[in-house]
Amino acid sequence: MKNKKKDGKNFDIFVIGGGVNGAAILRDAAGRGYKCGLAEMGDFGSATSSSSTKLLHGGLRYLESYQFRLVKESLRERDLLLNLMPHISWPLQFILPHNKNLRPYWILRLGLYIYDFLAGSTKLPKSKSIDLRNHPAGKFLQQSYKRALAYTDCWVEDSRLALLNILDAEKRGAKAFSYSKVTNIQQKNGQWIVSVKSKERSFEIKTKVLINTMGPWVNSFDQLDNNKKNQSMVRLVKGSHIVVKKLFNHDSAYIFQGKDGRIIFSIPYEKDFTLIGTTEVEHNEGIEVKCSDEEKKYLCDFASNYFQKKITVEDIIWDFSGVRALYENKTVEARNASRDYTFEVEEKEGSILLTVYGGKITTHRKLAEKAVSKITSLLKLNRKEWTSRQHLPGGDFKLEDKEKIIEGLLEKYKFLNTNWAERLFKTFGSEVENVLGRAKAKPDLGRKFGYDLTEREVLWYINQEHVRCVEDLIWRRSKLGLRLTSKQIRELNAYIKKLN
């Protein structure tokens, strides 16, 4: 263990929790000139932020609970984010089949008119009616579904979204510590003293402003700070997803209605797979977060009510679950609980604590902007908002130029095939040439680990993207866990352990 005094660090702002909200706050604060840091007990974005349905959307179903402000803000953020990170986000059309036994068609049509209206001026297509009997999407559905509505939202690679916020924050001077757990918090002389422990070392930091973005663990702050007793109404809701082999051969997604009033999505995933989710069940703190057998069957049965192909639990290749911390009256059903966010601010002897509750992937940037602006106001400083105008790393190109850039990669790196080039570009964006370097042939990229993963890419993840273990790489920096064999994963794990 290194000496704590030697490792002491002083910050203006320190964030606990490295999910997408914490990462975005760190980035925003760093860009405004604050000396800031962050501690995350696992990998960045390794919990809720990498277990979403991976959508940038307004939330069509939130219209039923009259959350118009949230939907409007989310739709505006959807369009903004699409331009700021076009390598990890792109438009996705959704097909909503009409089930005559559920919501009337006119209600669905009206809901989408409102959705279009709240979106305002957008480059994305407006909603429309389609005849499933002569539309490619109808080919894979049961014949009883004859008409549908189509609208467009956006896909996002959620785990890389959290990471890119961290990386950009670091470029702007921030310090981010993964696999580093906060073990104690004290308030003294107008400052917070925070104890942090990782496998390699323990250290203390001092900060005037402390921001709690611990997500599902938000109330664990009470155990770290013995003087704080949090009385906020926080409910934990678990959402689970399953991945199966590709169920349809077109590029649109489906949104299905259920008899229980819920909806699920069925989304094209990593070219050869289909992502189905999500469930919404109450979760108790301390219980392992995993997709239960009941949830797996629920999702399979739900989707089977629409697809011609019957889906069973034996078809599941991968599953994942995440827990959301919602700031909501617990008498409301989980599916109707608000996804909006709120802050609690406490000032004591010159120090400030800001706690974040709720939020969704789509509003992470706006949440961070408001949080840092709130802190800036409390500190009586004048530091301008900026994140609405700055691309995330790798995103400095126009969405419509994506195919042309990939063609350029294939021309420059002739050893790449189309799938390989697309995967690399959707991972690294405009930074892909920094990864490939001056390679002229496959052997220049070093050892092969399976599929199209090479040593050059692995070293980039380790040296540039905070990869500490094999799970970081195959499930969060990429989704190569769906491609590699068990033997290949073991060999990759041994390689990463050796370097770390």
pLDDT tens, position by position, 103-146: 999 999 999 999 999 999 999 999 999 999 999 999 999 999 99
State residue 5's pLDDT score. 41
Q: Please check whether residues 345 and 437 belong to one and the same domain.
A: no
Identify the DSSP state of 255. E
How many domains in the chain?
2
State residue 229's pLDDT score. 53
Q: Please check whether residues 378 and 436 belong to one and the same domain.
A: no
- 149 pLDDT above the threshold of 90: yes
pLDDT tens, position by position, 296-339: 999 999 999 999 999 999 999 999 999 998 886 555 565 556 66
Q: pLDDT-derived band of residue 500, with 50, 70 and 90 as boundaries?
A: confident
* Burial (0-12, 13-18, 19+ Cβ within 10 Å), 373: middle
- 290-323 exposure pattern, b = at least 16 Cβ within 10 A, e = fewer: ebeeebbebbbebbeebbeeebeeebbebbbbbb
- Other C-beta atoms closer than 10 Å to the C-beta of 217 total 19
- Residue 17's nearest CA partner among 160, 156, 162 is 162
Helix, strand, coil share (%) of the chain residues, nearest 5 = 40, 25, 35
Percent of the chain surpassing pLDDT 70 = 94
CA distance 227 to 118: 44
Q: Please check whether residues 453 and 493 belong to one and the same domain.
A: yes
Q: Please check whether residues 492 and 374 belong to one and the same domain.
A: no
The mean pLDDT value for 260-270 works out to 96
State residue 241's pLDDT score. 99
Which structural domain, as residue segments, surrounds residue 212?
A: 9-48+160-233+338-389
Q: 158-171 and 20-31 are packed helices; what angle lies between their axes, rounded to 10 degrees?
A: 20
Q: Please check whether residues 347 and 410 belong to one and the same domain.
A: no
Task: Look at residue 369 and tell me if it is in a domain.
Answer: yes
- The C-alpha angle 265, 267, 271, rounded to 5 degrees, equals 170
- 203-216 exposure pattern, b = at least 16 Cβ within 10 A, e = fewer: bebbbbbbbbbbbb
CA distance 393 to 84: 9
State residue 194's pLDDT score. 97
Q: Please check whether residues 42 and 187 belong to one and the same domain.
A: yes
- Residue 17's nearest CA partner among 367, 328, 277, 335 is 367
Task: Look at residue 271 and tell me if it is in a domain.
Answer: no
- 3 pLDDT above the threshold of 70: no
Task: Look at residue 412 and tell me if it is in a domain.
Answer: yes
Q: What is the average pLDDT score of the chain?
A: 94
DSSP reduced 3-state for 215: helix
- Helices and strands counted in the chain (H then E): 13, 20
The mean pLDDT value for 248-264 works out to 96
- Other C-beta atoms closer than 10 Å to the C-beta of 110 total 12
